[in-house]
Structure 1
Amino acid sequence: MVVSRVWYLTRRPEGFPRKDDFTLKEEQLPPCGDGEVIAAAEYVSVDPYLRYRARQIELDTVMTGTAVCRVIESRNSEWPEGSYLVHNTGWRTHTLLKKESLESSSYFGGCFRLPDYHGLPRSLSLGALGMPGNTAYFGLLEICKPKEGETVLVNCAAGAVGSLVVQIAKLKGCKVIGFTGSDEKVSYLMEIGADHAFNYKTTPIGEALEKAAPEKINCYFDNVGGQFTAEALPHMADFCRIAVCGAISTYNDESKDIGKISMTSPYSEATILWKQLRIEGFIVVHWQDRWTEGIEQIKQWITEGKIKYRETITDGFDKVPDAFIGLFSGENIGKAVVKV
């Protein structure tokens, strides 16, 4: 008998999420059937997009999320005991995985076998060698298409995605400007190669960009939206390419819920028109058929010392909601994960 500890979403978050929006329960898993495995979570991911998912999933169901898991019981020859996988199991310590789920490579609901990381931590499959890594890789290279000598602006630049965008842009020969939310994170951005780094809480965005980018911005990787983007937009060069990856400044604003009509936007129509900007939102699963390409390239850059990674690891399954909530007050540098 395997008992799983599970975090359920039991109250719809209103504004900033709170720990009592979630309830920790225990449940007994069914026996492992033919073609099935039971997997134990080793690391659980917390990501900003889960704030939107908390609006969408049904109450009194398992909170969604991705985990690195080890197979502890198997009746599937393709997945022997001791195998490691990444799966969207939700916030739970143990999961019974059906045969069809094990055979699917879909990011949401599918299963990815962990490759040989040659000594790198398995937790990276939730960060630099996982969804955030590919988000940075494909979002920057396929949408922004930075050219050598161009200027790239990144906000939320010390986070899981932004910190990789900074470094990939530098590898492509670009000048990089990063904004983040603390002086400690500013120091980290300079450590990983940013040409200019600013604390948006203490430095006016427009003034910083006037000094750091008099030549204007050619590529803008936007993780924040809102007021930041409104203030940055006048500093875009003609034909600037903008990748809209996220809008964390709006995630706790219920008026910004998907499907609701809002008459406010940080994107000025006149600026877009006269500067002939190209703005494209994206979801990383668009490149699911190239998933391994991004992971292998970033892994090579890491092993060659060309890219650094940082993780904020919280110990204890009991603290999964705390780690999630901490994302919205900027507690993490790099990828936030929970060690089960």
Structure 2
Amino acid sequence: MAPIKNGRLLYKEIPDGYPQPGKHVVYDESELIDLDNVPLNGGLLLKILVLSIDPYLRNRMRDPSVRGFLPAFEIGKPLQNGGVAQVLRSEDPKYTAGTYVAGSYPFQKYLVAQASEVNGLRPVQKKGKLTLSAHVGVAGMPGATAYTGWKEYAKPKAGEVVFVTTGAGCVGAIVIQLAKADGLKVIGSAGSDAKVEYMKSMGADVVFNYKKTKVEDVLKKEGPIDIFWDNVGGEALDAALANCNKHARFIECGMMSVYNGDNAYQMKNLNYIYQFEIQLHGFIILSLIPKYPEFYTEFANRIASGEIKYNEDITVGLENGGAALETIQRGNNTGKSVIAVADY
């Protein structure tokens, strides 16, 4: 077979605000690959099938001198995130041709790598409602974020009240379901009426569109809250601080309100942290990797059986990945954002 194009989604420029396809991220087909003859040097030839688009990717599109929990992306190189690939050729006895493997991959169609070079490489399979794309969402890093973070920090008691921001996102929707399973009253917020309906379908008791209804008004009526799962920060965090019980647990999982250069909200209620003796946990999933084995067994079975529900927003084609990245930053996706790089 003659060499074919190995399409890549390259990081080209640091954005000031929202990342724009064609400017900050560019699809490129200049690289060729000979699938039959490319040297493997004891490694694997992988065909990337699915890639995950997550809000935190914007955090890596920064000046390298700025600190972050992960290194900044390198200008001129592909973006990188969780994905699922299929082994096309192998010189590694642990992985045979045809095997599906999840891991952290560059945003390109084909990859030659040593197994040790791919973070989190592990075999995966389809099972019931557990699709390949689910392994980058509800059964992947976002799912692990929700499951392990809830188990580690929430300390839920039946009858308590939890407030979940971005409740229609992959992480938020799982937290809603975990909280309901633990017997809690769940308040969920999202940015569209369609997402409000989705949160209802996940089992949330009180749902609202924060673009139409003030967070403060909802929490005054439906609170006080005992647990706050926060993915956005800003006004929602401020309102939660003013409307929580003593010894409330705040799980700070993300700050989407400040990822894209938006004007920072001026916090007014930080004094309640000590007044209410709030237990506030900043939380990065990398710190809970030792908890993954339980997630991959116990939670994966709940997904496969259909007990845990999920929704996906699938973008077809790596060339459209830049648009998917902008869409999720603007909060316009409906479900877990996934790029279908190839048929799976």
The normalised TM-score by structure 2 is 0.89
Give SS of 1:88's match: strand
Query: After superposition, where does 1:232-271 map in structure 2 within 5 Å?
Result: 232-253=240-261, 266=267, 268-271=269-272
- The answer for the alignment partner of 2:153 in structure 1 is 143
- The answer for the alignment partner of 1:315 in structure 2 is 316
- The answer for the alignment partner of 2:17 in structure 1 is 15
- Partners in 1 of 2:115 and 2:217 — Cα distance? 56
> CA-atom RMSD, angstroms?
1.9
For the Cα contact (< 8 Å) 2:148–2:291, is it kept in 1?
no
Letter of the 2:226 counterpart? N
Letter of the 1:279 counterpart? L
Q: Pick from 66, 71, 84: which aligns with 2:100?
A: 84
Give SS of 1:161's match: helix
Q: Deviation digits for residues 133-171 of structure 1, max 9, x if unmatched? A: 010011112111111111111000000100000000000
CA-CA distance at 1:200 after TM superposition: 0.2
Letter of the 1:241 counterpart? R
- Partners in 2 of 1:50 and 1:159 — Cα distance? 15
Of stretches 280-289 and 165-174 in structure 1, the one that deviates more from structure 2 is: 280-289
Give SS of 1:134's match: helix
For the Cα contact (< 8 Å) 1:133–1:295, is it kept in 2?
no
- The answer for the alignment partner of 1:194 in structure 2 is 204
Q: Deviation digits for residues 93-150 of structure 1, max 9, x if unmatched? A: 1111114225xxxxxx341221453452110000010000010011112111111111
CA-CA distance at 1:17 after TM superposition: 1.1
CA-CA distance at 1:198 after TM superposition: 0.5
The answer on 1:160 being equivalent to 2:170 is: yes
Give SS of 1:240's match: strand
The answer on 1:209 being equivalent to 2:249 is: no
- The answer for the alignment partner of 1:35 in structure 2 is 42
- The answer for the alignment partner of 2:232 in structure 1 is 224
Give SS of 1:231's match: helix
Q: Pick from 100, 111, 121: which aligns with 2:131?
A: 121
For the Cα contact (< 8 Å) 1:233–1:267, is it kept in 2?
no
The answer on 1:94 being equivalent to 2:142 is: no
Q: Note closer, same or farther for the CA distance 1:165–1:317 as it changes in structure 2 (3 Å cut).
A: same
CA-CA distance at 1:334 after TM superposition: 2.3
For the Cα contact (< 8 Å) 2:129–2:304, is it kept in 1?
no
- Partners in 1 of 2:110 and 2:258 — Cα distance? 33
CA-CA distance at 1:255 after TM superposition: 8.3
> Structure 1: which 5+ runs fail to align?
103-108, 257-263
CA-CA distance at 1:34 after TM superposition: 3.3
Letter of the 1:306 counterpart? E
- Partners in 1 of 2:270 and 2:322 — Cα distance? 39
CA-CA distance at 1:230 after TM superposition: 1.4
Q: Deviation digits for residues 266-310 of structure 1, max 9, x if unmatched? A: 473311011000101111122212213113222232344432111
- Partners in 1 of 2:266 and 2:106 — Cα distance? 33
Of stretches 51-60 and 28-37 in structure 1, the one that deviates more from structure 2 is: 28-37
Of stretches 27-36 and 136-145 in structure 1, the one that deviates more from structure 2 is: 27-36
The normalised TM-score by structure 1 is 0.90
CA-CA distance at 1:333 after TM superposition: 2.3
Letter of the 1:10 counterpart? K
CA-CA distance at 1:77 after TM superposition: 1.8
Q: Alignment length, in residue pairs? A: 325
- Partners in 1 of 2:108 and 2:164 — Cα distance? 33
Give SS of 1:269's match: coil
The answer on 1:53 being equivalent to 2:60 is: yes
> Structure 2: which 5+ runs fail to align?
63-71
Q: Note closer, same or farther for the CA distance 1:272–1:323 as it changes in structure 2 (3 Å cut).
A: same
Letter of the 2:181 counterpart? L
Give SS of 1:173's match: coil
Q: Deviation digits for residues 67-95 of structure 1, max 9, x if unmatched? A: 21011121112111101111211211111
